[in-house]
Every structure is written in structure tokens, then in C-alpha cells.
Amino acid sequence: MVVAVPNYRLSHHPDHPERISTVHPTHELDTTRSLLWLTDPENVGRYLGSTAGDSPRIRSIYLAGHSCGAHILSNMVFLLPNVRISQSASTPAESDTTWSSTERTKLLQLLPKIKGLAFLDGIYDLNDLLDEYPGYEFFVEKAFGTDGKAGEDWDKACVPKQAPETLPGETCDWLKSRDGPKLFVAHAMEDELLSERQSLGWHKWLAALVGESNRLAYDNSTLIGSHDGSLQHEGLGHFLAKVVNRA
């Protein structure tokens, strides 16, 4: 198994004035383009020093996101296929807010290979987050703009606020198919930054979409430690092993 940890450009933060203004959906586009690069046989071959034809074929993909990464993962799968397609002649990858029809097609072609999705200590509903933690407004504004204070714009970036009929049909068909991915939602009960409210709400939304089954699991006992500390605890390894073994 090959493990990759992609990164994405961060939004502005008062403690880091040197950062440029990076806003939604740039974070999702950066992460998705990393995934497309990692799963391209030509790139894999170049990395391994072999030709594309001799490169190992990717049969199964497992994606996990923690905290903001869980939000990005949810948007990659459920919302990104509906993001505006670039109609310009410029290189699509240069755009921070739009992508090309080729990129969209490649992502949709990858979906059947994704066997498991894991959401850890995540944020999924921005306005619900601010209802519980008003002090988090500053970083939501930096990542999603200030025009969403009335709710509508920020809600557009949150999967739980979407009606199933507005989601990409390809994604819904894949999730509901017999060979669809296993879905895992996990929360560390010692998390000092987020209560279990976001995770429970996300699990409830997923259950309404795919139904209660062994394809959907909730875990609030395996991740141990604080919000960031749980990433350093062996519980994370146990959880990810469970994701791969059950998916």
C-alpha cells in the first residue's frame, strides 16, 4: 500500500500575514488535483523510474480527511463535480476557482476505485459550527468570505445543507450502488476544539442518503487524544486499518 499526504494552499490567518488570500473552492481543487496526479499512471511511472505501461495499476483508493480535511473530502466527493467548469483557453490547472471538463471526467472515473471514505473529527456544517462556537467566525470568513454571514453562501459549501436531488447524480449513483464505498465517521471524545455535534450530524446525513447498513460506520472510541493529538496516537493507525480491512 502506498500512503500519500497531499497538502493545499492555506487561507489567510492573522498569525501568518504573508499568506495570500485563498478561498473556497481552491482548497478542494488543490487536493483533487493532487489525487488526480497521484493516480495518473504516467506520473507514477516517472516517480518509479518506469514507463506508464509498466506502472502498477491502482485498484483501490482509500481517502481520509481530518478536521478541515474532512470538510474538503466531503466537498470533493459530493460537491466538486458541480463546480463551475472553465470555458477559457488557458491551462485549467492555473485556475483557483474553476476546473476543466477533463478534470471533472477524471475524478468521476476514479470514483469506482474509491473503496473507503473516512471522516475524522471533521467540520461539515459551517453555520452550525458557528452556532456552537461563535469565536470560530474569523477563520470561516478567511476561507469562505464574508458574504456568507446570512447563511446562504456558506451553506452552499456544506454538504449537509444540500438536498440530495441537487447533488451530482454520478456521485449519488456510486454511493448507493452495491459496490459503493464504505463510509466511516470518527470522533475523538477528548477533542478540545470540536464537540461530537458535527460528527453526529454528518453521520445522520449520510445515513439518510445511503441508509443504515454495514457500509456506514460511526466510531467514537478508537481515536484517542486532543484534536491534533489524536493524529499522533496509535488509535489513528488502528482506525485506518479498520477502514481498509472493512472496505
pLDDT of residue 109: 92
Residue ranges of the domains in the chain? 61-85+95-187+198-220
> Which residue has cell 453526529?
200
CB atoms within 10 A of CB 156: 15
> Helix or strand or coil: residue 192?
coil
pLDDT of residue 232: 96
pLDDT of residue 86: 63
* Of 222, 160, 214, the residue nearest 187 (C-alpha): 222
- CATH fit for domain 61-85+95-187+198-220, picks 3.90.1150.10, 3.40.50.1820, 2.40.50.100, 3.30.470.30: 3.40.50.1820
Cell of 6: 497531499
pLDDT of residue 54: 64
Q: How far apart are CA 61 and CA 59, in angstroms?
A: 7
Q: How far apart are CA 165 and CA 152, in angstroms?
A: 18
The burial of 179, by beta-carbon neighbours within 10 Å (0-12 exposed, 13-18 middle, 19 or more buried), is given as: exposed
Note down pLDDT in tens along the chain; length 247 residues: 888 999 998 888 878 888 777 888 889 999 999 999 999 888 877 777 766 566 667 889 999 999 999 999 999 999 888 776 765 544 444 577 778 888 889 999 999 999 999 999 999 999 999 999 999 998 898 888 876 555 567 898 999 998 888 888 889 889 988 889 999 999 999 999 999 999 999 999 999 988 877 899 999 999 999 999 999 999 999 999 999 987 5
Q: How far apart are CA 25 and CA 125, in angstroms?
A: 15
pLDDT of residue 35: 94
